[in-house]
Amino acid sequence: MRAFRRHLSYANVISTLALFIALGMGSAYAASQLGPKSVGAKQLRPGAVTADKIRKHAVTAPKLKAGAVKQGKIATNAITADKIAAGAVNGAKLPNEVVTTEKIAADAVTGGKVNEASLSQVPAAATANSATVATTANPEAFAKVSSEGTVFPGDSKGIGTADVVNGKLPGIYCVSVPFVPRGAQVTPEHANSNDVSVFVKLGGTESCPAPAVEVQLYSGTSLQKGPFYVVFYR
């Protein structure tokens, strides 16, 4: 002990203290000056990188691997309309029955998107199909017929001379049309006598079996040949 005290001097104490200080500062300096890329995944202990350690906007789309963001990770109402790219949601992305009536905006479905075969007839359309004014203006078939049963093509539609046959008695004409008519109208051509009358009967007769239509022309009370006009309605 006495020998140690003899060698202990102020210079020895100061130099030893300086050595300890240098060693301590060197370790601290080394810890704060890590080399580039010297800290990797292996150097991070589990749970070391917490949410508050991640800088705002540091995690960008290229940093996310495919399938990393699952449905359970998305907060309610997090995906708004402005976050969806144009055309991103197509038919293949929509499950069955997800687009209901209340999800469709007014006037969003145009005529080109509607399957017409799926639509039922509008109630008033049935009446329009057989409207009196419309069918009168453009009947399905009509003809101007001479007293001998000849049809005038320029004044006829859907009926030819071959479609008019003289009945068993003079003044009876059997007229065939390309459909089963639901109505018909016949008028005599202008004659000098005022007692000329004409009649039409649908559904066939003894003289004109169905589907032919019978036309009868009278002068007074007697059958007589004569020209007439006839119109048929579907």
User: Mind listing the pLDDT tens digit for each residue in 154-199?
Assistant: 999 999 999 999 988 999 999 999 898 988 999 998 766 678 899 9
pLDDT for residue 146:
94
pLDDT for residue 153:
94
Pairing of strands 164-166, 172-175: antiparallel
pLDDT band of residue 10 (cuts 50, 70, 90) is low
Residue 188 and residue 225: Cα distance in Å, rounded? 10
Structural domain boundaries of the chain?
139-233
pLDDT for residue 121:
67
pLDDT band of residue 60 (cuts 50, 70, 90) is confident
Residue 228 pLDDT more than 80?
yes
Contact 233, 187 (CB under 8 A): no
pLDDT band of residue 106 (cuts 50, 70, 90) is confident
Give me the sheet containing 228-233, strands edge to edge: 141-145, 228-233, 183-188
Pairing of strands 196-201, 228-233: unpaired
Give the residues across from 218 on adjacent strands.
Answer: 197, 223
Contact 145, 186 (CB under 8 A): no
pTM of the model: 0.43
DSSP state of 75: P
Average pLDDT, the chain: 80
Pairing of strands 196-201, 222-223: unpaired
Q: What is the Cα 86 distance to its own chain's centre?
A: 20
3-state SS class at 230:
strand
For 118-145, write each residue's pLDDT tens digit: 777 666 565 555 555 554 556 889 999 9
Contact 191, 228 (CB under 8 A): no
Percent above pLDDT 70 for the chain: 76
| Residue with the larger pLDDT of the pair 194 and 82 | 82
Q: What is the Cα 87 distance to its own chain's centre?
A: 17
pLDDT band of residue 29 (cuts 50, 70, 90) is low
pLDDT for residue 35:
72
Give the residues across from 187 on adjacent strands.
Answer: 229
Residue 89 and residue 98: Cα distance in Å, rounded? 12
pLDDT for residue 187:
92
Contact 156, 164 (CB under 8 A): no
